[in-house]
Each structure stands twice: as C-alpha cells, then as structure tokens.
Chains A and B, each alone.
Chain A
Amino acid sequence: MPDLEQKILAWRRQMLAAGITATSLTELENHLREDVERQLRLGVEINDAFNHATKTMGSAVALKKEFQKEERSWATTLVSLIGVAFLIVAGLFSLIILPKFFHQSVGWMPKLIALAIVALSVSSWRSGYKLLPAIGNARLRALAGFVSCLLAMIWMRCFVLYLLPQIVIGMIGQDQFLGWYFLSFLGGFATVAILGGIGHGLEKAAREAGPVTD
C-alpha cells in the first residue's frame, strides 16, 4: 500500500518536526499502523482508516506537550538540585535559629509568627509543587526555575547587606531585640526556602501532572 506508506511518512515528519523523539515515535507509529490495519480488516476504506487513526492518536503539538513533561535535560535537573540546595540551607539555618529564638523572652505573637514561617518553609518543600503549573516545555521550565533560584540569591544578598542592618538599627536597645532579630532571620530564610522550593517544585509539578486528554 504505497499510498498508506506515503501518508505515514508525512505523519512521521509532522511528529518529528513537533519534536517527538525517534524512540517515542517508533511506539506511536506501531500504534498507528495497528489501528489502521484493524480498521482495514473491518472493511474501512484506507483513507478513512488513516484519518481516524491519526485523529484518535492526537495532534503532534498536544503529544509533544505531554512527552516534554517526561523529558529531563541537564538544565532542569541542575535547577531542581539548586532548588533543593536552597531548601536544605534554609531548613538547616531555621533549625539552628529556632531553639535560640524560643529561648528569648518574646511574647506569644512572635512565637506564633516563627512557627508559621517554619511551617511555610516546610510546606514549600513538601507540597509547594501542587500549587505550581506543570510547564510542558523543558527549556521554559528550567528558565523559570533558574529565575526563581536567582531571585533567592539576590534576596539573600539584599537581606544580609541591606535589610538586616536596617532591622538591627531600628530595633537596637529594645527589650526583645534578640527575639526580633532571630525572627527576621527566620523570615529571610523562609523566603529563600519558598524561592528554592519553586525551582525544585516546577520540575516535580511537571512530572506529577496527569495526562491531558482532548
């Protein structure tokens, strides 16, 4: 059936142009052929069989979008790891600061705020990905994660160099100075944890997302 072969070849080109990898395409092509053959056995005309098979297969763009969620490049892996590193650093520092903070004679309000901040950091790591979009395009995903990690670094620098000295100047001499000082640190690290959590979570969100159906 040279006509069918021509059609399949054109379909293959379309899939490859959309960016479907050769290995995945082998599976998809086998599927397409089996579907066409089954219809031909039922007496369906060849053009109708092919058109029906390609329609039920799904469009090249929609398929690529789904496959991309599974593709991991060195860039997405690296960004995800950087995100994890930020989470670990923020988590460790929070763990060191938290007992020191609770030793200070601060009111219940700052203590509640501190607990809320730590809970926020932990949930950013554990379930932050559930709130993030599943970006199918691996390059775009890596870029978004990278920007988030970059923001975490910029934030850390600004926090230590500019924000923290301001807080110290503003609070010095006050009763609960050390308590508020430690609380500021917790807040600073929570921001790092959230931004790092986005870097890591974007990758997880893409992987955990279910299939899209037309």
Chain B
Amino acid sequence: MIRKELVAASAEPMVLAILAKGESYGYAIIQEVKARSAGKLNWTDGMLYPVLHRLERRGLIKARWGEGETGRKRKYYSLKKDGKMAMTKHHEQWSLVHSVLAGLQKENYA
C-alpha cells in the first residue's frame, strides 16, 4: 500500500492527467486510479471531491452538470488551458524526482 502522504501529494497531478484525456466525473476518476495502480493507490473516495472543487476554484478545471446513463444528475469535469500547464509542471517535477531516484537505485544495485 502506498503511504498516505504520497497518495495525497499525487492526487492533483493524477486528476489533471486523467482529465487531460477527456471529460470525466468523480467515480470514473477514482476507478481509473484504482485500475491503473492495481488497487495500490487507495484514496478515501470522498476526498477526491474537495480536490476537484479546489482545482475548479483555481481555474484549472471546469465543471458542468449533466446526466449519467441511469438518468441521474452527474457533475462532469474537464481540463482548462491553465490546467494543462499545471499538469505539465507537475509532470516535470515528478519526472525529476523519479529520475533522481532511478539513477541512485541503478548505482546502488550496480
């Protein structure tokens, strides 16, 4: 299981990256994260929504109310231009962390 601090820190870039593929909604976002991490990135589901609302307030994503397949009201989120830029920035930072760790690991096991 991934540590909770890491889960919390990765929530924002993860949401932005998922929305970069196209419009989505809370439940689908959670399911995608779970599927892609083989269930190892375990969010407390409800905590996703304050993250979405925060991104919306900061103008990185936008939301609209639509209708789901069951006819139920559903809030869809999509990425805005600033969100795309924020995602790129996140990606650069995470890539840097990853490359440093990977380089060190390679030396340690060499």
Contacts of B57 in A (CB 8 A): 70, 207
- B49/A24 in contact, CB under 8 A: yes
Contacts of A120 in B (CB 8 A): none
Interface of A is mostly: helix
B81 within 8 A of A: no
Q: Give residues of chain B (43-90) contacting chain A, Cβ–Cβ below 8 Å.
A: 43-51, 53-54, 57, 68, 70, 72-75
Q: A57-B45, A70-B53 are in contact. Are A27 and B26 (CB under 8 A)?
A: yes
What's the Cα separation between A212 and B53 when bound, in Å? 15
User: A97 → chain B, closest Cβ, in Å?
Assistant: 36
Total B residues in contact with A, Cβ cutoff 8 Å:
28
- A214/B44 in contact, CB under 8 A: yes
A30 within 8 A of B: yes
Interface string of B26-47 (1 = CB under 8 A from A): 1100100000000000111111
Q: Lowest 3 A-B CB distances belong to which pairs?
A: A58-B46, A58-B44, A66-B50
Please name 8 further chain A to chain B contacts, defined as beta carbons within 8 Å, in addition to the given A31-B27, A212-B47, sorted by A numbering: A28-B49, A30-B27, A30-B75, A31-B49, A58-B44, A211-B11, A213-B47, A214-B44
Binding site for B on A (CB under 8 A): 24, 26-28, 30-31, 33-35, 37, 56-58, 62-63, 66-67, 69-70, 207, 210-214
